[in-house]
């Protein structure tokens, strides 16, 4: 790890303006030549686009020290401040750089291992995440559990020093290309709800793991079903104590809604700008109802930006992550609907089933309020844990 940490150094003496210039210049100079073609590629509903080229691009990022920049230097990161991480994600989005392929490892698992893993976990897995040599997926949801993570039934039993895993996961993003998964499994069969769950690191390339793609409304298949049938992983590859994985799993979800959301909002702003341009070209902006919706969308974007900026680095005790998820998911789903309204009748046509960007935006954004914790779950969290209201009755 020391060799990895020493390759790039930190940014201790770099002003934020200087850092922004450095990021912007590097992206301009490197999103050129062979990598010019990957600009704008990938993203929700479009993960199939130029996937191998995007992996090559991300490994180029890694060799130049632009992956995992917020990780501590001793773990292979660059020790960037919170402000600098925000700047990087904003400039990355403004440069129309391709959607990241290793974000699950970098933004979810890596910080989890830094906070909860052992030295052996960090030494084994962090270098491969930083170099983009190992890709990860997240195995949380199940067909019978939905957004209720505490209701998972996938089980793991310690046999001859290995965890043996049986069960099914669903809606697993990029499982078909992942080398490893972090899996929530019930390791105490007598337990219920949050107790008795463990957070396991499981290799995907083994006979006991079957991945089946789920065809989406967009026609693509970045989500998958994952079946574990006697899959095995080493007994030491449990993060935190066995049976106490709930806190680790919740911490991972908190990392998921970190600084990268501000870069996400730059992408949202580009989508809104495209829709406004179309509205002016086709005359939709002359309709006062449409014009008001465009203005409200712009206001909503500014509200999201202000909220995200004001809550970054907070403790999360006041439901900030749930509020943020509600804000952006509901707004983005509405933007997809607005896009179809602005485009008008042509939005219903897709010659040869070849969807354009706005059609993919509309179709995929229907899922925004479901994945990552549905709107209903987020409202329950806010009501029960922040406002102290009575728990919803469970059937």
Which domain CATH number covers 74? 1.10.540.10
CA atoms within 13 A on the CB side of 296: 12
363 and 273 housed in the same domain: yes
CA distances from 205 to 136, 211, 231 (A): 12, 10, 10
Could you tell me if residue 393 is inside a domain?
A: no
Domain boundary among 208, 243, 278: 243
Q: Which residues contact 79 (CB under 8 A, 6 or more apart)?
A: 10, 11, 12, 71, 72, 73
Q: Which of 100, 128, 156 is the last residue of a domain?
A: 100
Cβ pair 151, 145 in contact under 8 A: yes
Same domain for 355 and 311?
yes
User: Has 256 been annotated as catalytic?
Assistant: yes
Query: Would residue 194 count as lying in a domain?
Result: yes
161 and 39, same structural domain? Answer: no
**279 and 366 together in one domain:** yes
Whether residue 237 is found in the same domain as residue 263: no
Intervals of the chain under pLDDT 50: 1-13
- Between CA 364 and CA 374, with CA 368 as vertex, the angle to 5 degrees is 140
317 is a domain residue: yes
Q: For residue 180, how many other CB atoms are within 10 A of its CB?
A: 22
Q: Does 109 fall in a domain?
A: no
Report the distance separating Cα 198 and Cα 209, nearest Å: 18
- Let me know whether 140 and 170 are in one domain: yes
Q: Which helix (H) or strand (E) holds 98?
A: none
Residue 224 placed within a domain = yes
Read off the tokens for 43: 């993203």
Identify which of 240, 226, 271, 2 has the alpha carbon closest to the alpha carbon of residue 121.
Answer: 240
CA distance 7 to 108: 23
In a domain, 290, yes or no: yes
Same domain, 295 and 342: yes
Q: Which of 331, 319, 314, 317 is nearest to 369 (CA)?
A: 331
pLDDT of residue 11: 46
Set 91, 256, 320, 341: catalytic member = 256
DSSP code for 190: T
Is residue 270 located within the same domain as residue 378? Answer: yes
Rounded Cα–Cα distance for residues 74 and 130 (Å): 12
215 and 275 co-located in one domain: no
Q: Enter the tokens of residue 71.
A: 């990780």
User: Which residue range is the domain that position 159 belongs to?
Assistant: 136-243
> Are 176 and 289 in the same domain?
no
Whichever domain contains 383, its CATH number is: 1.20.140.10
Do 163 and 266 belong to one domain?
no
Domain assignment of residue 250, yes or no: no
d(CA 320, CA 314): 8
């Amino acid at each position: 790890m020391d060799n990895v940490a020493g390759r790039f150094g930190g940014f201790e003496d770099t002003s934020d303006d200087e850092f922004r210039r450095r990021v912007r210049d590097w992206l301009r100079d490197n999103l050129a030549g062979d990598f010019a073609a990957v600009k704008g590629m990938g993203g929700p509903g479009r993960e199939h686009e130029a996937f191998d080229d995007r992996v090559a691009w991300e490994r180029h990022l890694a060799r130049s020290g632009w992956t995992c920049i917020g990780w501590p230097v001793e773990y292979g990161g660059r020790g960037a401040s919170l402000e600098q991480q925000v700047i990087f994600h904003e400039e990355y989005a403004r440069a129309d750089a391709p959607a990241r392929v290793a974000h699950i490892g970098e933004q979810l698992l890596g910080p989890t291992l830094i906070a909860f893993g052992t030295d052996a976990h960090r030494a084994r897995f962090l270098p491969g995440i930083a170099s983009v040599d190992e890709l990860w997926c997240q195995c949380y949801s199940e067909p019978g559990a939905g957004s209720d993570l505490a209701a998972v039934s996938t089980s793991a039993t310690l046999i001859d020093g290995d965890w043996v895993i049986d069960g099914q996961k669903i809606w697993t993003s990029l499982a078909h290309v992942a080398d490893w998964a972090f899996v929530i499994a019930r390791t105490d069969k007598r337990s219920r709800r949050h107790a008795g769950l463990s957070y396991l690191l499981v290799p995907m390339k083994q006979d006991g793991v079957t991945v089946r793609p789920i065809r989406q409304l967009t026609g693509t298949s970045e989500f998958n079903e994952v079946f574990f049938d006697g899959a095995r992983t080493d007994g030491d590859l449990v993060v935190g104590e066995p049976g106490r994985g709930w806190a680790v799993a919740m911490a991972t979800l908190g990392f998921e809604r970190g600084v990268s959301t501000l870069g996400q909002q730059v992408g949202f702003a580009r989508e809104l700008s495209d829709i406004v341009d179309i509205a002016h070209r086709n005359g939709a902006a002359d309709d006062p109802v449409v014009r008001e919706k465009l203005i409200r969308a712009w206001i909503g974007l500014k509200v999201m930006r202000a909220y995200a900026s004001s809550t970054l680095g907070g403790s999360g005790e006041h439901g900030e992550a749930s509020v943020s998820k509600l804000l952006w998911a509901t707004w983005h789903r509405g933007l997809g609907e607005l896009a179809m309204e602005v485009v008008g009748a042509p939005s219903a046509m897709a010659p040869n089933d070849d969807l354009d960007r706005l059609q993919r935006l509309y179709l995929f954004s229907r899922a925004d309020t479901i994945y990552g914790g549905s709107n209903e779950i987020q409202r329950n969290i806010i009501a029960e844990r922040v406002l102290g209201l009575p728990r919803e009755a469970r059937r």
